[in-house]
Amino acid sequence: DTYLKLEDVTCKFNKPCIMDVKIGQKSYDPYASAEKIQQQVSKYPLMEEIGFLVLGMRVYHVSSDSYETQNQHYGRSLTKETVKDGISKFFHNGYCLRKDAIAASIQKIEKILEWFEGQKQLNFYASSLLFVYEGSCQATTVRLSDVTLAEKRGVPKGLLSGGDILEYNNNIHVINSTENGKIEASVSKGLSKFYALHKKAYSKRHHSQLSLKVENLEQDNVWKSSTCITQEHLNGNVIPQLEKVFCHMPAEIKESADVEVRMIDFAHVFPSNTKDEGYIYGLKNLITVLQNILDN
């Protein structure tokens, strides 16, 4: 006998954020009865116009160390005007928008779109894309000494003293919830310099070559200028500054985020001799929405 073995796509993630998006203009197959068609259309009348439907999501919030879950009723409540904000909710970790995960997701969808543009053998109905990205932030810190050393020695921007390329780690830990309810933030005067150096380096090098060296943050190896920020300071200047540096990096730099986008649910796949225009339409619309979230 032949079996299809299903993979647990979330197994490699520590705090997986998951979203299921049904793709295509029709969620009923060519042989569906009139009753079935009416049933499917009534569930989400905008499916034909939008080309996709959010079936649910589970998002890890760093701030509360908890998950927020939305079911299919949430997705069916989204309109043309609110679908952008509805999907952006999946990429918000409670502190900031994970633009790195959005950029990586777009790349993955584009590869699936490329496959669909080149095949005329199968048409997919009521099939979905499963999105998974890492929601937790591992405690890591930038080796600012290397950056400073590179600046002093006049090393070309984007390179460290040993000729190593600067490496950017998507999971740099900025904020930690502590037992006493306070929030520790590693803050350094070198942040602005680091960001400027990194941004300038990117303009000269392709994103696939660009990276910033990082190392694990040990308890006694915190940046000397780190400060402990109490809850009342959350609305001050520190958090926005940290978000600007770590959460709103240019998307091109952060596209190395650990993201999976997989096709799932193949109960209604049929032979065809034409492109699956309904699925292609949905993929393109979804990419457009994600790109708008990224740009705005």
Per-residue pLDDT reduced to its tens digit, 191-223: 444 444 444 444 444 443 333 333 344 333 333
Q: 16-138+256-295, which class in CATH?
A: alpha beta
- The C-alpha atoms of residue 287 and residue 109 are separated, in whole angstroms, by 7
- The C-alpha atoms of residue 59 and residue 81 are separated, in whole angstroms, by 22
- The C-alpha atoms of residue 92 and residue 89 are separated, in whole angstroms, by 5
pLDDT at 292 over 50: yes
pLDDT at 60 over 70: yes
pLDDT at 238 over 60: no
Structure tokens, 258: 């650990």
Q: How confident is the model at residue 52 (pLDDT cuts 50, 70, 90)?
A: very high
The residues, ordered by sequence, that sit 6+ positions from 180 with a Cβ below 8 Å of its Cβ are none
**Are 20 and 57 contacting, i.e. CB atoms less than 8 angstroms apart?**
yes
Q: How confident is the model at residue 190 (pLDDT cuts 50, 70, 90)?
A: very low
**Are 23 and 109 contacting, i.e. CB atoms less than 8 angstroms apart?**
no
* pTM given for the model: 0.64
The amino acid sitting at 141 is: T
Structure tokens, 99: 């633009």
Q: For the ranges 34-43, 77-86, 136-145, 158-167, which has the lowest average pLDDT?
A: 158-167
The better pLDDT of the pair 148, 60 is held by: 60
The better pLDDT of the pair 24, 150 is held by: 24
Average of per-residue pLDDT values in the chain: 74
Mean pLDDT of 94-106: 96
Q: How confident is the model at residue 259 (pLDDT cuts 50, 70, 90)?
A: very high
pLDDT at 137 over 90: no
Going from N- to C-terminal start, the domains of the chain cover 16-138+256-295
Q: What percent of the chain has pLDDT over 90?
A: 55
Tens digits of per-residue pLDDT, 66-82?
999 999 999 999 999 99
Mean pLDDT of 233-240: 49
